[in-house]
Structure 1
Amino acid sequence: MDTLIFLLPFAMFVAAFAALLRGFPVAFTLAGVGLAFALIGLAMGLFDPFHLRAFPQRIYGNIMEMDKAILVAVPLFVFMGVMLEKSRIAEQLLDAMGSLFGTLRGGLGISVVIVGALLAASTGIVGATVVTMGLLSLPTMLKRGYSPALASGSIAAAGTLGQIIPPSIVLVLLGDQLSSAYAEAQRAQGIFSPDIVSVGDLFAGALVPGLLLVAVYVLYQIGVAILRPTASPAIPKEEMHADWGKLLNALIPPLILIIAVLGSILGGLATPTEAAGVGALGAILLAGYRNSGASTNPVFGKSLVLVSALALFALLLSPLLFDLRAGATTLQTGMAYALSIIAALGVLMACIRLFRTGVLDAVMRSTAQISAMVFVILIGASLFALVFRELGGDDTVRTALESAPGGATGALIVVMIVMFLLGFFLDFIEITFVVVPIVAPVLFMMGVDPVWLGVMMALNLQTSFLTPPFGFALFYLRGVAPPEVSSAAIYRGAAPFVIIQLLMIAMVAALPWLATALPGLLYD
């Protein structure tokens, strides 16, 4: 009987895993398995039904209380990403970068990596990035004589950079879960005024590893161009020339938006949720500027949107000059109000232009669908985790990790291996909501740094998008790839990038300061 009680939490994972492999919806699978094992625990006298009665209020409290306001950033960042996808920013960046690097051997591959990094910092949506670049770049790369494996692997890997380069949805969700786990671990140690780990900390911690990963991807493209020149040939110079006006027009607007969003977070001017709101408004203005909306006076509309974007940027910079909360003069307050009115008028004009072209409807629909999916999975995972803990799962996991050879290092290696294997079959959202709340408190009580752990987990989750047979980035690319590109070629192309990802995880594990130095410099 004692053995059955000990194994009951593990049976929950086995049952959930089996149901997921049968194709049942994730959120309802987690909630259904949780309810089923709650009934089993109730029959065995191991589960108090009071927890189920209090569960709705617990969910409402977790989402609505102030320390969970960070979850509001999820739909805002999703909206920002989808809006930028619809504004054809990827197409313009790929054309501009292709004209700049295309005449070099491996130039198109380098262009794909750089554009993937820029889209990661501005959209952060892996599926949209991979599909967009697959539709635009893959036919061109194949036409220019690129190896199908190299071309498809480069696009799939570049698309996953949105998982690690901030602002990233996975970092927002990880930050929320790690913050709760860190507070729980400190309370268990008798620390009732706990330190916090914020999403801003994770953004700062992931920035250096993310940029290093981009650099290694570029070095890989250069290495392939040197060792296998037939796999990544250059485009003849007479067929392509760099148009600097086109390049700057494609590059400067998203760079300004990236600086406004990420800079305001890292500089302490705004919380991630506030910065996400700024990013959503900036994406509306950028998309509205590039969509005429069948306006009778498109020049006026574009001018108003441009002026509004400048007003919004000036509002972001105003806290550096004076504090509007107290002690501001009438002139300063009046300037702030005037800038706000100009920005609001521009956003209204941009929304009208986007509504006329049907872009606004599509963006709102996609944002609602993705956000609803995230929060429904959160509710299902919360119920699963609640039952798991009440059945003694926390003690079981703690015993298993503490008995791992090597102490905290051995326990961390075990967790990372488990997350990597789960990434073959599960989405990053499911792993974040189910696995992280269970293992993170144990690791924190063993002395693991929360920012370092968050960056390691984010890199691991990013790798799951590339690992065959169920890597989601590979599925996205398979759906838009030409018939002559086989699934085997896509898998072969992704394999070197998976190895690069694993090497990057090992590098961050061996050199924790890669993840902790920048947050310490900015916030300590």
Structure 2
Amino acid sequence: MSALILFITVFGALLIGFPVAFTLGGVSMILGLINFGPELFNLMPLRIWGGITNFVLVAVPLFVYMGVMLEKSGIAEEMLETMALLFGKIRGGMGISVILVGAMLAAATGIVGATVVTMGLLSLPTMVKRGYNIPLSCGIICAAGTLGQIIPPSVALVIIASVFNLSIGDIYLGAFIPGFLLVGLYLLYVIIIAIFKGEQVPAMPEEDLAKFRSDKMFRRIFFAFLLPMALIVAVLGSIFAGIASPTESAAVGAFGATLLALAKRSLNYKKAMAVMYDTMNLTAMVFTLLIGATAFGLVFRGMQGDTIILEFIEKTNMNPTTFLILVNAIIFIAGFFIDYIEISFIVLPIVGPIFQSMGLDLLWIGVLIGLNFQTSFLTPPFGFSLFYLQSVAPKEVTINHIYRGIVPFIVLQVIAIGIVIYYPQLALWLPKVLSK
């Protein structure tokens, strides 16, 4: 009963609007003190210290820094403009370019908000001007902007790995194929629209393309693609090849992003301070949530909450597959109301030991949950990507357009989750091959 009261109180406070980190920590400390007395304070500091000194989590501020640096320096902007012109000759070319740039930015940054805002500012007005269907344009930008949740080096995957005690390198390898499976589904959808409803995704005018070809095209391609691609290869290649740990490769990425900004001559004192401020702000948010979640996990387990859930599953004769689908359904629904970081620190510590007791591979589960986290940014009413896009959208684009446009992409994400559930080797094959 105490564990149930704790769980209901936390979710009730979150729905009312209390800050997540302080709700998790505050409610847990109060109910823990009532149930266990002052002895709780002997154990809590050790658990919190053990969490925040986890070397794996050093990768979080470094990857955040890399993403913010690429966004502030304008490199992300150039990638998008150049790709749009390269694919502009074909119907749906701009939509395809937005998805591909979203994948590239995901592999270079992993920062969802910056990606959606950048692509919304640059692409949406142009897509509307060129006669693209407005809901479809909104859906493409929001969906492409959230690819940083599943394509390495994703911060979400780092958090999942830390909660499940997995190797970051392994979960990055595991997420690689499912991540690009999702990209493939997005591209296929846009291509089908281009074939059957071409008027919704027209090609760009020839005069714009001619100007691009005559205006230092190869120089733009070099700075917009080859250099960022070299950074992506350096970061992910060093992890996959076993040359560097994910934390070390994150440092390579942060340093490389700084060099790219310097080479582009777009880094000054003001931008450097803005990058460091945003990095500090995002990192502080993650670690404050970690402290609150550590308190919640300790008290919840102390109240035998995980044991109660396991006993309930055993009494209902729920098989592992049914439990897996149930957990993914809960995460999907929770994503309508709360962020993936909160879900990570509330739900995953509870279900992780249960998955292990059922003999399921936590690496596969972690990749599935990473895919599921995509939807938390896209599902109304609190999908953050939807709000990011609305904040920079032209006046003629309404929230209704955005909501309508995102529905097909949510369906595609659910299909991707189903495929990975049915074919676990999509997540397990690459780590198994490259770890030999």
Shorter-chain-normalised TM-score: which range? over 0.9
Match of 1:379 in 2: 291
The aligned runs of 1:19-418 (5 Å cut-off) are 19-41=13-35, 47=36, 49-64=38-53, 68-179=54-165, 197-241=166-210, 242=213, 243-291=217-265, 354-355=268-269, 358-418=270-330
**Secondary structure of 1:167's aligned partner:** coil
Q: Kindly tell me: are residues 239 and 283 of structure 1, through their superposed partners in 2, closer, same or farther at Cα, counting changes over 3 Å?
A: closer
Query: How many percent identity over aligned positions?
Result: 53
Can you give the 5+ residue segments of structure 2 that lack an aligned partner in the other structure? none
Match of 2:379 in 1: 467
Can you give the 5+ residue segments of structure 1 that lack an aligned partner in the other structure? 42-46, 180-196, 293-352
- Partner Cα distance (2:99, 2:426) in 1: 21
Query: Are the aligned partners of 2:69 and 2:258 in contact in 1 as well (CA < 8 Å)?
Result: yes
- Alignment RMSD, CA only? 1.3
Q: Which amino acid aligns with 1:103?
A: K
- Partner Cα distance (2:304, 2:109) in 1: 40
Following superposition, the deviation at residue 408 of structure 1 comes to: 0.9
- Partner Cα distance (2:41, 2:338) in 1: 26
Match of 1:522 in 2: 434
Q: Which amino acid aligns with 1:148?
A: I
**Secondary structure of 1:470's aligned partner:** coil
- The C-alpha deviation readout for 1:182-213, integer Å capped at 9, x for no partner, is xxxxxxxxxxxxxxx30100000000111111
Following superposition, the deviation at residue 48 of structure 1 comes to: 5.1
- Partner Cα distance (1:136, 1:482) in 2: 11
Q: Which amino acid aligns with 1:50?
A: E
Q: Which amino acid aligns with 2:202?
A: P
Match of 2:420 in 1: 508
- Partner Cα distance (1:39, 1:48) in 2: 5
| Structure 1 residue runs of 4 or more that deviate by more than 6 Å after TM superposition | none
Query: Are the aligned partners of 1:27 and 1:381 in contact in 2 as well (CA < 8 Å)?
Result: yes
Q: Which amino acid aligns with 1:156?
A: C
Following superposition, the deviation at residue 248 of structure 1 comes to: 3.0
Query: Are the aligned partners of 2:390 and 2:399 in contact in 1 as well (CA < 8 Å)?
Result: yes
Match of 1:18 in 2: 12
- The C-alpha deviation readout for 1:385-428, integer Å capped at 9, x for no partner, is 11111111011121233345551111111111111111111111
- Partner Cα distance (2:316, 2:96) in 1: 42
- The C-alpha deviation readout for 1:319-363, integer Å capped at 9, x for no partner, is xxxxxxxxxxxxxxxxxxxxxxxxxxxxxxxxxx532xx111000
Following superposition, the deviation at residue 244 of structure 1 comes to: 3.9
Query: Are the aligned partners of 1:405 and 1:411 in contact in 2 as well (CA < 8 Å)?
Result: no
Q: Which amino acid aligns with 1:146?
A: Y
Following superposition, the deviation at residue 39 of structure 1 comes to: 3.6
- Tell me the matched-pair count: 431
Match of 1:422 in 2: 334
- Partner Cα distance (2:88, 2:331) in 1: 38
Q: Which amino acid aligns with 2:421?
A: A
Match of 1:329 in 2: none
Say if 2:344 is the partner of 1:432.
Answer: yes
Query: Are the aligned partners of 2:52 and 2:290 in contact in 1 as well (CA < 8 Å)?
Result: no
Q: Which amino acid aligns with 1:108?
A: M
Query: Are the aligned partners of 1:404 and 1:410 in contact in 2 as well (CA < 8 Å)?
Result: no
Comparing 240-249 with 258-267, which one deviates more in the overlay?
Answer: 240-249
**Secondary structure of 1:426's aligned partner:** coil
Q: Kindly tell me: are residues 405 and 461 of structure 1, through their superposed partners in 2, closer, same or farther at Cα, counting changes over 3 Å?
A: farther
**Secondary structure of 1:269's aligned partner:** coil
Q: Which amino acid aligns with 2:48?
A: I
**Secondary structure of 2:380's aligned partner:** coil
- Partner Cα distance (1:404, 1:359) in 2: 57
Following superposition, the deviation at residue 288 of structure 1 comes to: 1.3
Say if 2:363 is the partner of 1:451.
Answer: yes
Following superposition, the deviation at residue 224 of structure 1 comes to: 1.0
Query: Are the aligned partners of 2:71 and 2:77 in contact in 1 as well (CA < 8 Å)?
Result: no
- Partner Cα distance (2:189, 2:180) in 1: 14
- Partner Cα distance (2:156, 2:366) in 1: 10
Which of the pair has more CA radius of gyration? 1
- Partner Cα distance (2:244, 2:344) in 1: 25
- Partner Cα distance (1:61, 1:415) in 2: 27
**Secondary structure of 1:378's aligned partner:** helix
Q: Which amino acid aligns with 1:61?
A: G
**Secondary structure of 1:54's aligned partner:** helix
Following superposition, the deviation at residue 176 of structure 1 comes to: 0.7
